[in-house]
């Protein structure tokens, strides 16, 4: 049906895809056997290459194998043009982000129903039933099949351009003119998109603090989109005697910035991205930093997290983590109270050489410089490179993956210098020279002159 030139999908040969679909022979009777005449193999070898690529990226092959093993399926496949040129670029970027894997899977499974639908036999007709509803593999989403007076067929709001395009013993593929987007996926996309337009929201005034008493002054309005007036270090949960009242800024009563939601999103992104499970575990389980970061974001602050990967975290010793407060201090040194991306940091180090970024671990700064076409943080053996850039850049949090754990070298150098000074400088006892009163000194001089006269 198709030429030999179409036997490769995005550089992946059909033989390799067949090897992926065909399970190994085992003695278990529950293993699903997929042969070369399966509807899944036909999909991967068809001209619906964009849909086939999305199915692979969504890691759905195993689920579809199980579905085909249980019953026939019907796939409503959008044509390539619908996914290449007719789809909103922001929505396509949203689907391909690792943290939105569930949305991508829901969207693709909503194009498949666990029933064999042949257009000439099972489709509703204008003279008979006007509409037939089928539950898709996405669960709650249903597909509505309709037929017009002129004989044209539709599924939801998509027109069926190629009915019965591919027919196999275990399923059918119908070609449609556009993507079917479930309501849940559209709502999730809208929530993500709204985070990017946060600057358009007029925030309420952040509090001012009297430097003498460290208490709140009278509230003053700030320009729209301006950062909070209260420095982020004062907002880091100070002691009870100097703790300011909750900020009535964007995270106040109106909750324009949902910090807790954004922190959950970026931690979920770390887990789905892979290789950052230890970082997520420290933020959530070993410390309360996740809650504290959510509170800061809710109050209008921005944060950039330098996240060490699992390989780097595995090099931490027990002594480095066992001291009270050690995990918090390590993580504080990896949080920059600015919003930085790979592009902004690389442009800065290219232009200015070395850049010192403030961290939440006062007074230490993290040094960044250009090295090997990337951004390098720290010095010497304690340095780390920007390894996975822009893992998460939504809302007011930026997460940049690095391949090492950073430590403030300035503190170690200061301690070493103090020890050297103490051991090399001997203590010398100096006796104070006694001082006589001015009147007594004058009297002695007069007596000396009198003695010379005598």
**The pLDDT of residue 452:** 54
**The pLDDT of residue 256:** 55
Which residue, chain included where needed, has tokens 């902004």?
Answer: 344
Beta strands in 273-423 (DSSP E): 303-308, 335-336, 355-358, 365-371, 374-377, 384-392, 397-402
The pLDDT tens digits along the chain (454 residues) read 433 333 333 344 434 344 444 443 333 334 455 677 788 888 877 788 888 888 888 888 888 888 888 888 899 998 887 777 777 788 888 888 888 888 899 999 999 998 888 887 778 876 666 778 888 888 778 888 888 777 788 888 888 888 888 888 888 999 988 888 888 888 888 877 765 544 433 444 455 566 666 665 655 555 555 666 667 766 665 433 333 444 444 444 444 567 888 888 889 898 888 899 999 888 888 788 888 888 888 888 889 999 999 999 999 888 888 888 888 899 999 999 998 999 999 988 998 889 999 999 988 999 999 998 899 999 877 899 999 999 998 778 999 999 999 998 755 454 445 444 444 444 444 444 444 444 455 555 655 655 554 5
List the domain boundaries for the chain: 39-189, 259-402
**The pLDDT of residue 333:** 93
Return the ∠ at Cα 373 (arms to 369 and 375), rounded to 5°.
Answer: 35
- Give yes or no on whether 39-189 and 259-402 have one common fold: yes
Return the ∠ at Cα 437 (arms to 436 and 440), rounded to 5°.
Answer: 95
CA pair distance 224, 300, nearest whole angstrom: 12
**The pLDDT of residue 413:** 54
**The pLDDT of residue 284:** 86
CATH number for the domain whose boundaries are 259-402:
2.30.180.10
Task: Specify the 3-state DSSP secondary structure of 370.
Answer: strand
**The pLDDT of residue 37:** 77
Could you please state the CATH topology (level 3) that the domain comprising 39-189 is classified under: FAS1 domain (2.30.180)
């Amino acid at each position: 049906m198709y030429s030999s030139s179409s036997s490769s999908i995005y550089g992946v040969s059909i033989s390799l895809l067949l090897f992926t679909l065909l399970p190994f022979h085992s003695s278990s009777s529950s293993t699903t056997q997929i042969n070369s005449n399966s509807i899944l193999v036909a999909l991967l070898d068809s001209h619906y290459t964009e849909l086939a690529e999305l199915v692979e990226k969504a890691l759905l092959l195993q689920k579809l194998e199980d579905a085909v093993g249980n019953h026939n399926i019907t796939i409503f496949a959008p044509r390539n043009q619908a996914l290449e040129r007719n789809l909103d670029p922001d929505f396509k970027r949203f689907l391909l982000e690792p943290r939105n894997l569930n949305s991508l899977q829901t969207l693709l499974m909503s194009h498949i129903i666990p029933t064999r639908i042949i257009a000439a036999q099972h489709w509703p007709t204008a003279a008979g039933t006007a509409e037939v509803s089928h539950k898709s593999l996405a669960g709650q989403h249903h597909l509505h099949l309709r037929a017009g007076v002129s004989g044209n067929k539709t599924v939801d709001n998509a027109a069926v351009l190629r009915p019965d395009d591919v027919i196999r013993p275990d399923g059918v593929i119908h070609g449609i003119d556009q993507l079917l987007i479930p309501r849940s996926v559209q709502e999730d996309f809208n929530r993500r998109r709204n985070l990017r337009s946060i600057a358009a929201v007029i925030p309420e005034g952040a509090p001012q603090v009297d430097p003498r008493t460290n208490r709140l002054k009278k509230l003053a309005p700030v320009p729209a989109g301006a950062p909070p007036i209260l420095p982020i270090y004062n907002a880091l949960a100070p002691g009870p005697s100097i703790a300011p009242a909750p900020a009535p800024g964007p995270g106040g009563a109106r909750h324009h910035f949902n910090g807790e939601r954004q922190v959950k999103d970026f931690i979920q992104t770390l887990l789905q991205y892979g290789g950052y499970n230890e970082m997520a575990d420290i933020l959530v389980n070993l410390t309360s930093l996740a809650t504290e970061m959510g509170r800061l974001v809710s109050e209008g602050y921005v944060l950039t997290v330098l996240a060490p990967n699992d390989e780097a975290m595995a090099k931490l010793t027990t002594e480095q983590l066992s001291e009270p407060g050690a995990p918090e201090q390590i993580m504080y040194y990896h949080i920059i109270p600015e919003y930085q991306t790979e592009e902004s940091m690389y442009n800065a180090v290219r232009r200015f050489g070395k850049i010192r970024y403030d961290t939440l671990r006062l007074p230490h700064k993290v040094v960044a410089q250009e090295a090997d076409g990337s951004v390098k943080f720290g010095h010497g053996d304690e340095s780390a490179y920007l390894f996975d850039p822009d893992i998460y850049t939504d809302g007011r949090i930026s997460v940049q993956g690095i391949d090492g754990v950073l430590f403030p070298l300035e503190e170690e150098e200061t301690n070493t210098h103090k020890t050297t000074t103490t051991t090399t400088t001997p203590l010398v006892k100096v006796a104070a020279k006694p001082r006589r009163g001015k009147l007594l000194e004058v009297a002695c001089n007069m007596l000396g002159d009198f003695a010379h006269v005598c």
